Amino acid sequence: MRVLWVTNMWPDAIRPWYGSFVFSQARSLIELGVDLDVLYIPGYSRRSEYIRAIGRLHRLLARQRFDVIHAHYGHAAVVARTQWFAPLVISYCGSDLLGRPSNDAAATASRSSVALAYLFAQLARAAAATITKSAAMAERLPRTVRRRNHVIPNGVDLQRFVPGDRHAARAQVGWDNGELHALFIGHPDNPAKNFPLAQAVVDEIRRRGHRVALHAAVGVRPDLVPTLMNAADVLLFTSLSEGSPNVIKEAMATELPIVSVPVGDVPDRLRGVDGAFVVGSEPSAMADAFLRAAAIGRAPQARTAVQALSLERVARRVLSVYETVVSSPAPAGRKPTDALVSSSRRHM
């Protein structure tokens, strides 16, 4: 099985944390025997990278035949759909179907992002199959193509995200053992992450007489995230819009107690899990839940609950999607001849 990934989410020298879940899924598929190449589009640097990527894609296809082309995120899917040599699978990752929250008080998605999300959703009509991270995201697809959609959340690396000694982790990152530690993973300037709510929750806890520190993990190396989770008392998750947030599953794997607003598939993921609390976005209610979660200490049931989303199990589900589209009638059009290709495997 030869597969080409087209993605604008991939760790690089400037943003080594960005798209780490895509990178992990790629490696897990390679471990299952998939012959996988990556066309990475650094779209964050300049929009013209998407135009350049179209030319790069077609030069690649002139030398190499692929059984499947798999695009990650809506922008990358536009580039991938400029070819009809191989069936296209599109993975929607969140805001490409849901839109991006704006800065207004109502926290509604901006009109431009909603319009763009609508266009990306229509692109599913030209795909052999789609993958969404949650059932709620699938509802944003055109009704006629939902039967070709597969709800597959991102997997979690259960070998890397493991529970560890809290005191040792705090010594490593320099946190005080004499206070509570709330972990917030996301950029405070990103409206979708709703950092002001996390600050309000911590302010409420302090008002009640507790010593608590709020740590916003911004741009940290991926290998440091498990240590931060082992050092923290509670993961505080306040996002306005999500699909199936990876940080929730990673926290579950490290047995870190969680307090989250009801967003994306988080309520389903945490339902019935001891040490995990899904509450409304009122600072007082979240502060109550935070103190209950901190008193628990560890949430071993959470790690048990996330076992089904190991990298290998998720990779097998993605591979099943590939096998389904390959067994379907091939698209009409010229087939490039086989040839050796110098690929982006060096990134892996």
Alpha helical stretches, state H, 16-156? 20-31, 48-63, 74-80, 95-98, 111-122, 135-138
Q: Do both 265 and 234 map to the same domain? A: yes
Q: What is the mean pLDDT of residues 51-60?
A: 97
Query: What is the pLDDT, as a whole number, of residue 347?
Result: 45
Q: Percent of the chain, pLDDT > 90?
A: 80
Q: Do both 300 and 321 map to the same domain? A: no
Q: Is 80 exceeded by the pLDDT of residue 321?
A: yes
Q: Do both 26 and 126 map to the same domain? A: yes
Query: What is the pLDDT, as a whole number, of residue 221?
Result: 85
Q: What is the mean pLDDT of residues 309-336?
A: 81
- Residue labelled with tokens 């709330």: 182
Look up residue 324 and give its amino acid. Answer: T
Q: Do both 70 and 170 map to the same domain? A: no
Q: What is the mean pLDDT of residues 132-137?
A: 93
Range of the domain at 243: 166-305
Q: Is 50 exceeded by the pLDDT of residue 27?
A: yes
The CATH number of the domain holding residue 276 is 3.40.50.2000
Two tokens, residue 176:
């005080």
Q: Do both 139 and 174 map to the same domain? A: no
The half-sphere exposure of 286 on its side-chain side, counting CA atoms within 13 A, is 24
Q: Do both 52 and 14 map to the same domain? A: yes
Q: Do both 333 and 283 map to the same domain? A: no
For residue 211, give the nearest of 177, 236, 186 by alpha carbon.
177
Query: What is the pLDDT, as a whole number, of residue 17?
Result: 84
pTM as predicted: 0.86
Length of the chain in terms of residues written = 348
Are 68 and 35 a contacting pair, CB within 8 Å?
A: no
Are 118 and 100 a contacting pair, CB within 8 Å?
A: no
